[in-house]
Structure 1
Amino acid sequence: MEIIDPERHYYPILRGSELTAAYKLFNRGNEPLIIYDVQASCGCIEVDFPTGSIGKDNFGFITVDYDSAKNIGYVEFYITILANTEKDVFTTIKFDLNVVTSPHYTQDYEEIYLERRKENLGGEVDGDLTQQGYYIDDTRTVR
């Protein structure tokens, strides 16, 4: 497996922005390449990878979506690829960048959360059934 530019340095982005990177993978082996799993070093990264096999001398893409809402300053991330490669089972790709704040005002985590929640008002009338919270039995209260 050959990865085009496995170590990348991106230009600074504003905090709260998203960065999408696509890594091109070539199958240089004699057998079809199967990617079993791709794991990111941070929960702020979503990874999309080919679920089918990549034939000999063909290529596929691993797409990485990074959300910078909870980072400030220099950040460095590793993505580990588990595949049926001839040499190593694990292959690592890396990217880094600086996350900078707006020169006018720096939001805290709660402000960013509330701002995103306003943007996603779907399910507000009946509520999102997956986010109903929990309850406890209170035997001391008579209803």
Structure 2
Amino acid sequence: MPHLFQKNLIAILPLLFFISCEKEGQSTTIEVKDPQRHYFPVVQGEKLHIVFPVKNTGKNLLEIKEIQTSCGCIIADDSNIKNIVPQSTGYLHFEYDTNKNTGYVQHQIYIYGNFIPNNKIELNFDTHVVTSSLHSKDYEELYKEIQESSPNIDKLNYGLERQKNYYTGDKPEE
């Protein structure tokens, strides 16, 4: 009797393994909110925090295999997201170090995974990095410093459309 149990167990275990891995690696579809962004000017020395919401719109598990940036000045925090279950949203966090550039900059971020059409998506952003001026700070600059030192700074990225620190398409009217 125990010998029969072992034979059945040996026959069933590989079958269970293949069934459980059936959907792993299959392609899915994704949607990235605002993959082309134009950020407002930032002062050299500041860090620009960038968050891209990524929604898995397919029926299979989204597996992010690799993240590549066009510049060493962009740090990807890929520790918080590797897989996104179907119909869920994950957030890709990046930090752009403005110390390494001055003037107009344009960068790309490449995400590789098991999504259609070619297992790669390109995210773009640009901004103007301006040098700091030596003058007394006005109300807006002081307010921005207070805002940045707030522990709830992450909540600002998910605010109303008009509160985003970037725009898409043509520059908005002032």
Displacement of 1:7 in angstroms is: 0.6
Alignment TM-score, normalising by the size of structure 1: 0.70
Poorly superposed stretches of 4+, deviation over 2 Å: 49-52
Once residues 82 and 69 of structure 2 are traced to their aligned partners in structure 1, the CA distance between those partners, rounded to angstroms, is 20
Secondary structure of 1:34's counterpart equals strand
Residue of structure 2 equivalent to 1:25 = 54
Structure 1 residues not aligned, in runs of 5+: 106-143
Higher gyration radius (CA): 2
- Identity of aligned pairs, percent? 36
- Are 2:99 and 1:69 equivalent residues in the alignment? yes
Across the two proteins, how many residue pairs are aligned to each other?
105
Residue of structure 2 equivalent to 1:14 = 43
Assess if the C-alpha contact under 8 Å between 1:29 and 1:86 holds in 2. Answer: no
- Whichever structure has more helix as a proportion of its residues is 2
Secondary structure of 2:93's counterpart equals strand
Once residues 104 and 56 of structure 1 are traced to their aligned partners in structure 2, the CA distance between those partners, rounded to angstroms, is 51
Displacement of 1:51 in angstroms is: 4.2
Residue of structure 2 equivalent to 1:59 = 89
Match of 2:132 among 102, 111, 114: 102
- Are 2:72 and 1:35 equivalent residues in the alignment? no
Structure 2 residues not aligned, in runs of 5+: 1-29, 136-174
Displacement of 1:94 in angstroms is: 0.6
Alignment TM-score, normalising by the size of structure 2: 0.58
CA RMSD of aligned residues (A): 1.4
Once residues 52 and 89 of structure 1 are traced to their aligned partners in structure 2, the CA distance between those partners, rounded to angstroms, is 15
